[in-house]
Amino acid sequence: MKIILGFVGELSSGKGTACQYLKEKHQAPSYRFSTILRDILNRLYLGITRENMQGLSKIIREFFGQDTLAKVIATDANNDKAELVSVDGVRRLADIKYLRELPGFYLIYLTADQKIRYERIVKRGENDDDTKKTFEQFQKDELAEAELQIKETAETANFTINNNGSLEDLYRQIEDILKQVKK
Residue 31 reports pLDDT greater than 90: yes
CATH architecture of 3-182: 3-Layer(aba) Sandwich (3.40)
- Give dist(CA 182, CA 90) in Å, integer: 22
- Give dist(CA 95, CA 39) in Å, integer: 19
For the sheet with 84-90, list strands across it: 30-32, 84-90, 3-9, 105-111, 159-162
Residue 24's pLDDT is 98
- Averaged pLDDT for residues 6-18: 95
Residue 107's pLDDT is 98
- Give dist(CA 123, CA 26) in Å, integer: 26
Residue 65's pLDDT is 93
Residue 19's pLDDT is 97
pLDDT in tens, 92-145: 999 999 999 999 999 999 999 999 999 998 888 777 777 888 899 889 888 877
Local confidence band at 4 (pLDDT 50, 70, 90 cut-offs): very high
